[in-house]
Structure 1
Amino acid sequence: MNTEQQQPLPIFIAGGGIGGLAAALSLSRAGFSVRLFERAREIKEIGAGIQIGPNAFHVFERLGITDAVNAKVSRPSKLVMMDGISGEKVVSIPLDGFFIDRFRYPYALIHRSDLHRILLDVCLQSPHIEVSTNVKVDGFTDEGGRVVLHTSGGDMYGRALIGADGLWSTVRSQLVGDGAPRVSGHIAYRAVLPINEVPEHLRPNTMTLWAGAKTHLVHYPLRGGELFNLVAVFHSDSYVEGWDAEGDAAELHMRFRDAVPEVKALLAKIDTWRMWVLCDRDPIKEWSKGNVTLLGDAAHPMLQYMAQGACMAMEDAIVLADEMAAANGDLAAAFLRYEERRYLRTGKVQMSARLYGEFYHADGVKRELRNQFLQSRSVEQTLDGMAWLYNVEPVLRTPDRATTSTTA
């Protein structure tokens, strides 16, 4: 009997981002053998800060990485929304005991690369996970009993394939075939500064959003206050594919020409900006077929306005692993149950993110109505509006099913 017959074939994961690594870790904890492929020569995460809400901390607890995450996060005292034109305060949400009592978990800020590194290190330590870099996935063939992965290094054979290969997913292109992502017309510029380069009065320990006319600026501390993260977003017809092009500072300052002095002062602190074009897709109901499924941005890419892209991918990883563990070996059926449990929630976040973008960028009378509406709400009412997103236990709870060996 050959080795392939003696040992179960591994689960393939295409993509070594936060979602792919969370899936690998979650599957390994459920007893599956995993092989993850990343096209880059080195697995690393680009970008800067990300916000992690209470739903993400529930996932961290499930993955056993809460202590490692807590060692790297910054804890803002408030979520604050300011009017970037008038300078008036629109919303202020304390993130102390009342918030945690309501949602059980905190709200925090972390450098994307720190979270990515935590997940990668745990995966590399697992005997059930093999990580391969510099491997380009070209496509796949689902043979029913196994999946053939066509790569730059030749064909490889696995039990199933999870496409966690992001917005421009090769796996999605073959599986769903719905063309290129939707370009939103919004551009994001990001930068990270040492905290001591920012005037003290401009660096409160808050997650602050300055909402302007077709613009907004977000800023917050990272790494326990060592760094200061800025993300400036504006409407533009400019288009550069990818996540790490150099931004045009002249266009940035022109777009924020009507902003309050505080915003202009922060923007002036940055000499070089990295930019990306914000894209998403319309929600879909089906992203699985046979022994192949999608996860994270490959399944449901979303605009960043709800700060939930990484969170939704990690939630996916938990639900997918739970369904696969309970599937009695029928992974195709598990994939269908997984997407059934996820598509409405992720679709709601996709559509809500679009609406939030319009809300943040309101101008004229719409801006005044937005401010009036938000200023009239109590903290309790505002938290009520967040409950569907952050009360995550029912979302991630697996229905009772007979669980059998994953190697059957």
Structure 2
Amino acid sequence: MSSRNTPPRPDVLVAGGGIGGLSAALALARQGLRVRLYEQAPEFGEVGAGLQLAPNCTRILHEYGLLDEAVRLGVLPERMLMKDALDGKVLTRVDLKDLARRYGFPYLVIHRSDLHGVLLRGCRRAGVELVTGARVVAYENVPDGARVTLADGREDRAEAVLAADGLHSVARELLIDDEPVNSAYVAYRGAVPFERVRANGVHEKDVVLYVGPHAHFVQYPLRGGEMFNQVAVFRSPKALAGADDWGTPDELDRAFAGTCEQIQKGLPLMWRDRWWRMFDRDPLMKWVTGRVALLGDAAHPPLQYMAQGAVMAVEDGWVLARHVAAQRPRRTGTGSGVDWGTALAAYEAVRPEHCRRVVLTARSWGELWHHVGIRREQRNAVMRARDTYDYSFMDWIYGPTALTPDQEPPMYPAVPLDSVVVSS
């Protein structure tokens, strides 16, 4: 029983205060639910550098009333260019202004901490109860709901629990006994004031991707053009050999030896005191057990090649909230009135298959970007032959987010490189 000093029991508990947890909490609070979110860190914040948000995410931010704020903090790039990392020549490009017209919403690049702040402020305005310094260590289904246990021994319960607890999710263990999959690739990042790179002749209004043998390099502006973001990704020989100290700066330099001048100018600006080893997990098709549901990286951690990790997490919360709204005719007494069994079943009916395809396609794109020898030449020929305004490989991912399985558009097949003849 609640008192004046005890907040009323929430309808939903969210474990994890990253982008996925915050966006889901906001989506459910906008449906009139009482949401309590637990974040293990002593204060809210995000690390890292830039994020790319495609139209399938910016349309959701628009619905939440957050897109204008996000655009003010980010950059709307004009083009996306793919170049060969060895000779620096353009392979293909995407007109991002035309892409925005096609899908109805823009392609936005933004600092991860800025997007996190936008969502955090949205949660506060929506009345989400935000609790920091609270790590969820166990999940359990109970009559009419689910319960979490915190690291300090406290327990809390609600009608439903969303586990947005990341790559090493505790809640995932309720559904499957699996481990993250090591790609043997590592990412270095670096965001610097734009003035430090202007003399390097970088693209000021574009997202540029250099694809090379077992490595790639990404550059784009951030924060209204005041900052410049770089990401260097490469395959680690030490990881392949089973060494523990893999991904070190000496491997970074060796991986990009022989690449084009633009990459060589950018490498000295990378942060060298930290790096991110790249893992995903094999697709999981069951995300719900009782009243506990996975969300974001807890359910579908991808490799970064499609720039859809944060986007999928935002989509998860949006889809769930739409199904909750459909199953909540009215609040009854102290309960939310939500038919959680139906809402969670509908969520699980559509999201795992879509995210499975993203995770597996990301792996395939990584292979494509990192080809060597004749495969590299075949890839380059395919990319150069692409029509700038051919969106056939994007429609399934950037088009409207499906709410039911029959709305999911077909995946376009990849071009078989073995069928490509490279002219001498």
Q: TM-score, normalised by structure 2?
A: 0.87
Q: Is the aligned partner of 1:287 residue 2:301?
A: no
Contact 1:80 1:209 in 2 (8 A): yes
Q: Which residue of 2 aligns with 1:23?
A: 24
User: What is the identity, as a one-letter code, of the residue corresponding to 1:53?
Assistant: A
1:392 is aligned to 2:400: yes
- Is structure 2 residue 192 aligned with structure 1 residue 184? no
> For residues 293 and 267 of structure 2, what CA distance do their matches in structure 1 show?
41
1:4-403 counterparts in 2 under 5 A?
9-96=10-97, 98-127=98-127, 129-153=128-152, 154-173=154-173, 175-198=174-197, 199-238=199-238, 248-270=248-270, 272-328=272-328, 329-381=338-390, 383-393=391-401, 395-396=402-403
Q: CA separation in 1, counterparts of 2:69 and 2:215?
A: 35
Q: Find the residue that maps to 2:32 and give its secondary structure.
A: coil
Counterpart Cα distance in 2 of 1:237 and 1:369: 25
Q: Report Cα offsets for 1:16-37 as digits up to 9, x if no partner.
A: 0001000000000011100000
Unaligned stretches of 5+ in structure 1? Answer: 240-244, 400-408
**Cα distance in 1 for residues equivalent to 2:372 and 2:321:** 44
Alignment partner, residue 404 of structure 1? none
Whichever residue aligns with residue 77 of structure 1, its letter is E
Unaligned runs of 5+ in 2: 240-244, 329-337, 407-424
Q: State how far apart, in whole Å, the 1-side matches of 2:269 and 2:130 are.
A: 39
Q: Is the 8 A contact 2:215 2:370 kept in 1?
A: yes
2:350/2:405 contact within 8 Å kept: no
Residues of 1 paired with 2:204 and 2:191: CA distance? 15
Q: For residue 89 of structure 1, report the CA deviation from its aligned partner.
A: 1.0
Deviation at 1:282, TM superposition (A): 1.3
In structure 2, how many angstroms separate the alpha carbons of the residues matched to 1:344 and 1:123? 28
Report how many aligned residue pairs link the two structures: 388
Deviation at 1:3, TM superposition (A): 5.9
Work out whether residues 166 and 297 of structure 2, in 8 Å CA contact, stay in contact via their aligned partners in 1. Answer: yes
* Cα 1:115/1:75, change in 2 over 3 Å: same
Quote how far apart the aligned CAs of 1:10 are.
2.7
Shift, 1:377, TM fit: 1.3
Two-structure CA RMSD over aligned residues (Å): 2.1
Q: What CA distance in whole angstroms lies between the structure 2 residues aligned with 1:41 and 1:2?
A: 26
Contact in 1 for aligned 2:56/2:397 (Cα 8 Å): yes
The change in CA–CA distance for 1:218 and 1:391 in structure 2 (over 3 A counts) is same
Distance 1:247 1:226, change over 3 A: farther
Q: Which residue in 1 is equivalent to 2:418?
A: none
Residues 70-117 of structure 1: CA deviation (Å, up to 9, x unaligned): 111111111000001122210111222x22221111111100000000
Residue in 1 aligned with 2:334?
none
Alpha-carbon spacing, 1:246–1:26, altered in 2? closer, same or farther (3 Å)? farther
Shift of the 336–139 alpha-carbon distance from structure 1 to 2, 3 Å rule, reads: same
How far, CA to CA, are the matches of 1:31 and 1:398 in structure 2? 26
Paired amino acid for 1:223: R
- Please give the alpha-carbon distance, in whole angstroms, between the structure 2 residues aligned to 1:73 and 1:2: 43
1:71 aligns to what SS in structure 2?
Answer: helix
- The answer to whether the 8 Å contact 2:238/2:246 transfers is no
Q: For the Cα contact (< 8 Å) 1:49–1:109, is it kept in 2?
A: yes
Shift in CA distance, 226/286, structure 1 to aligned 2, threshold 3 Å: same
Provide the residue aligned with 1:402 in structure 2: none
CA–CA distance in structure 2, aligned partners of residues 67 and 214 of structure 1: 38
Contact 1:176 1:287 in 2 (8 A): yes
* Residue 155 of structure 1, CA deviation: 1.1
> Distance between the aligned counterparts of 2:106 and 2:404, measured in 1?
20
CA deviations 1:159-201 (Å, max 9, x no partner) are: 111000111111112x223232111111111111111111241
